Amino acid sequence: MEITTRSLWTLVHGMGFGALYLLACSGALVELYRRYSAHNDVPAAARDDKFLGVYLAAMAAMAWLAVLTGSYVIYPWYRAVPPAGLHNLGAFPRSLLLSSPSTSGWHSLGMEWKEYIAWLAPISITMAAAVALQYGRNLKRQPQLRSAVLCFVWVSLLAAGVAAFFGATINKHAPVEGGNTIQLMHGE
Protein backbone atom coordinates (compact mmCIF):
# COMPACT_ATOMS: atom_id res chain seq x y z
CA MET A 1 0.00 0.00 0.00
CA GLU A 2 1.65 3.18 -1.23
CA ILE A 3 0.87 6.83 -1.50
CA THR A 4 2.73 9.66 -3.22
CA THR A 5 3.70 12.78 -1.31
CA ARG A 6 1.48 14.93 -3.53
CA SER A 7 -1.44 12.63 -2.94
CA LEU A 8 -0.77 12.73 0.79
CA TRP A 9 -0.78 16.54 0.78
CA THR A 10 -4.05 16.49 -1.13
CA LEU A 11 -5.52 14.24 1.54
CA VAL A 12 -4.23 16.46 4.33
CA HIS A 13 -5.71 19.52 2.60
CA GLY A 14 -9.05 18.02 1.59
CA MET A 15 -9.83 15.34 4.13
CA GLY A 16 -7.81 16.74 7.00
CA PHE A 17 -8.60 20.44 6.96
CA GLY A 18 -11.43 20.82 4.43
CA ALA A 19 -13.76 18.00 5.42
CA LEU A 20 -13.13 18.56 9.11
CA TYR A 21 -13.96 22.23 8.63
CA LEU A 22 -17.28 21.36 6.97
CA LEU A 23 -18.17 19.04 9.85
CA ALA A 24 -17.17 21.69 12.37
CA CYS A 25 -19.25 24.28 10.50
CA SER A 26 -22.43 22.29 10.92
CA GLY A 27 -21.60 21.90 14.63
CA ALA A 28 -21.06 25.65 14.99
CA LEU A 29 -24.37 26.43 13.32
CA VAL A 30 -26.26 23.99 15.54
CA GLU A 31 -24.59 25.45 18.63
CA LEU A 32 -25.31 29.04 17.59
CA TYR A 33 -28.99 28.27 16.94
CA ARG A 34 -29.35 26.21 20.12
CA ARG A 35 -27.62 28.70 22.36
CA TYR A 36 -29.35 31.81 21.09
CA SER A 37 -32.76 30.38 20.32
CA ALA A 38 -35.64 32.50 21.62
CA HIS A 39 -36.96 29.35 23.34
CA ASN A 40 -33.76 28.75 25.25
CA ASP A 41 -34.27 30.33 28.67
CA VAL A 42 -31.51 28.39 30.38
CA PRO A 43 -28.47 30.62 30.94
CA ALA A 44 -25.30 29.24 29.44
CA ALA A 45 -22.48 28.42 31.79
CA ALA A 46 -19.38 30.62 31.56
CA ARG A 47 -17.44 27.55 30.44
CA ASP A 48 -19.86 27.08 27.50
CA ASP A 49 -19.39 30.67 26.37
CA LYS A 50 -15.63 30.27 26.36
CA PHE A 51 -15.98 26.96 24.54
CA LEU A 52 -17.87 28.57 21.64
CA GLY A 53 -15.12 31.15 21.12
CA VAL A 54 -12.37 28.54 21.29
CA TYR A 55 -14.33 26.23 18.95
CA LEU A 56 -14.72 29.00 16.35
CA ALA A 57 -11.04 29.94 16.72
CA ALA A 58 -10.07 26.31 16.07
CA MET A 59 -12.30 26.37 12.99
CA ALA A 60 -10.57 29.55 11.81
CA ALA A 61 -7.18 27.86 12.20
CA MET A 62 -8.44 24.90 10.17
CA ALA A 63 -9.83 27.16 7.46
CA TRP A 64 -6.54 29.05 7.15
CA LEU A 65 -4.58 25.82 7.00
CA ALA A 66 -6.94 24.54 4.30
CA VAL A 67 -6.58 27.58 2.03
CA LEU A 68 -2.85 27.96 2.62
CA THR A 69 -2.05 24.31 1.85
CA GLY A 70 -4.43 24.42 -1.11
CA SER A 71 -3.02 27.61 -2.60
CA TYR A 72 0.67 27.24 -1.81
CA VAL A 73 1.31 23.49 -1.73
CA ILE A 74 -1.17 21.76 -4.05
CA TYR A 75 -2.19 24.46 -6.52
CA PRO A 76 1.34 24.89 -7.94
CA TRP A 77 1.39 21.16 -8.77
CA TYR A 78 -2.09 21.42 -10.27
CA ARG A 79 -1.27 24.35 -12.58
CA ALA A 80 2.27 23.32 -13.58
CA VAL A 81 2.80 23.71 -17.32
CA PRO A 82 3.88 20.56 -19.17
CA PRO A 83 6.84 20.62 -21.56
CA ALA A 84 5.86 21.19 -25.18
CA GLY A 85 4.89 18.01 -27.05
CA LEU A 86 4.21 15.93 -23.96
CA HIS A 87 1.33 13.51 -24.65
CA ASN A 88 0.85 12.01 -21.22
CA LEU A 89 -0.60 14.86 -19.16
CA GLY A 90 -1.23 12.73 -16.08
CA ALA A 91 1.21 14.77 -13.97
CA PHE A 92 -0.30 18.08 -15.10
CA PRO A 93 -3.93 18.13 -13.92
CA ARG A 94 -4.89 21.57 -15.25
CA SER A 95 -3.60 20.81 -18.72
CA LEU A 96 -5.20 17.37 -18.61
CA LEU A 97 -8.61 18.85 -17.83
CA LEU A 98 -8.29 21.54 -20.50
CA SER A 99 -7.24 18.99 -23.13
CA SER A 100 -10.80 17.71 -23.55
CA PRO A 101 -14.10 19.59 -23.95
CA SER A 102 -15.72 16.99 -21.71
CA THR A 103 -13.49 17.94 -18.76
CA SER A 104 -12.42 21.55 -19.40
CA GLY A 105 -15.34 22.92 -17.37
CA TRP A 106 -13.93 21.32 -14.26
CA HIS A 107 -11.08 23.81 -14.56
CA SER A 108 -12.74 26.84 -16.15
CA LEU A 109 -15.69 26.81 -13.79
CA GLY A 110 -14.71 24.51 -10.94
CA MET A 111 -11.12 25.40 -10.15
CA GLU A 112 -11.48 29.06 -11.10
CA TRP A 113 -14.41 29.37 -8.69
CA LYS A 114 -12.89 27.20 -5.97
CA GLU A 115 -9.53 28.96 -5.83
CA TYR A 116 -11.13 32.27 -4.83
CA ILE A 117 -14.38 31.42 -3.05
CA ALA A 118 -12.48 29.21 -0.61
CA TRP A 119 -10.81 32.31 0.85
CA LEU A 120 -14.15 33.68 2.03
CA ALA A 121 -14.35 30.84 4.57
CA PRO A 122 -11.33 31.81 6.74
CA ILE A 123 -12.15 35.51 6.52
CA SER A 124 -15.75 34.88 7.64
CA ILE A 125 -14.98 32.41 10.41
CA THR A 126 -12.10 34.50 11.77
CA MET A 127 -14.56 37.35 12.22
CA ALA A 128 -17.06 35.01 13.91
CA ALA A 129 -14.36 33.71 16.27
CA ALA A 130 -13.16 37.21 17.10
CA VAL A 131 -16.67 38.40 17.93
CA ALA A 132 -17.43 35.30 20.03
CA LEU A 133 -14.17 35.64 21.95
CA GLN A 134 -14.57 39.37 22.41
CA TYR A 135 -18.18 39.33 23.62
CA GLY A 136 -18.45 35.92 25.26
CA ARG A 137 -21.65 35.69 27.26
CA ASN A 138 -22.64 39.27 26.33
CA LEU A 139 -23.33 38.06 22.80
CA LYS A 140 -26.66 36.86 24.15
CA ARG A 141 -27.64 40.51 24.57
CA GLN A 142 -26.39 41.57 21.13
CA PRO A 143 -28.91 40.16 18.63
CA GLN A 144 -27.58 42.18 15.69
CA LEU A 145 -24.03 41.02 16.28
CA ARG A 146 -25.31 37.44 16.53
CA SER A 147 -27.26 37.75 13.28
CA ALA A 148 -24.17 38.96 11.43
CA VAL A 149 -22.03 36.19 12.91
CA LEU A 150 -24.64 33.62 11.89
CA CYS A 151 -24.80 34.94 8.31
CA PHE A 152 -21.03 34.87 7.97
CA VAL A 153 -20.85 31.32 9.36
CA TRP A 154 -23.47 30.25 6.78
CA VAL A 155 -21.43 31.88 4.02
CA SER A 156 -18.28 30.20 5.24
CA LEU A 157 -20.10 26.86 5.04
CA LEU A 158 -21.24 27.68 1.49
CA ALA A 159 -17.74 28.78 0.45
CA ALA A 160 -16.10 25.72 1.98
CA GLY A 161 -18.80 23.47 0.48
CA VAL A 162 -18.24 24.81 -3.04
CA ALA A 163 -14.48 24.47 -2.63
CA ALA A 164 -14.79 20.95 -1.23
CA PHE A 165 -17.18 19.79 -3.96
CA PHE A 166 -14.99 21.01 -6.78
CA GLY A 167 -11.81 19.92 -5.05
CA ALA A 168 -13.10 16.38 -4.72
CA THR A 169 -14.51 16.15 -8.24
CA ILE A 170 -11.50 17.75 -9.89
CA ASN A 171 -9.18 15.40 -8.05
CA LYS A 172 -11.31 12.53 -9.31
CA HIS A 173 -10.98 13.62 -12.94
CA ALA A 174 -7.37 14.76 -12.79
CA PRO A 175 -5.68 13.76 -9.54
CA VAL A 176 -2.65 15.59 -8.25
CA GLU A 177 -0.08 12.83 -8.22
CA GLY A 178 3.68 12.52 -8.15
CA GLY A 179 6.61 13.14 -5.87
CA ASN A 180 8.19 10.52 -3.68
CA THR A 181 6.32 7.31 -2.96
CA ILE A 182 5.63 6.49 0.66
CA GLN A 183 5.11 2.83 1.42
CA LEU A 184 2.43 2.52 4.10
CA MET A 185 2.45 -1.26 4.38
CA HIS A 186 3.51 -4.36 2.52
CA GLY A 187 0.88 -6.39 0.69
CA GLU A 188 0.28 -10.07 1.38
Partner 1 sequence: MHAPIAAPLSSSEEIANGAGAAAILAAGVGAFLVGVLAVAADKSAAIKDLMNFWKPTGALSGVTTSAVVIWLVVWAILHARWRNRSVALASVNATALMLLALGLLLTFPPLADLL
Residues that bind partner 1 (CB under 8 A): 43-48, 67, 71-72, 75-76, 79-80, 108-109, 112-113, 115-117, 119-120, 123-124, 126-127, 130-131, 134-135, 137-138, 140-142, 144-145, 147-149, 151-152, 155, 158-159
CA distance 43 to 49: 10
How many helices, marked H, and strands, marked E, lie in the chain?
A: 9, 2
Q: How far is the CB of 143 from partner 1 (least distance, A)?
A: 9
CA distance 150 to 176: 35
The smaller minimum CB distance to partner 1, of residues 86 and 151, is found at: 151
Identity of residue 137:
R
CA distance 113 to 19: 18
The smaller minimum CB distance to partner 1, of residues 56 and 187, is found at: 56
The smaller minimum CB distance to partner 1, of residues 89 and 123, is found at: 123
The smaller minimum CB distance to partner 1, of residues 2 and 107, is found at: 107
At residue 158, what are phi and psi to the nearest 5 degrees?
-60, -50
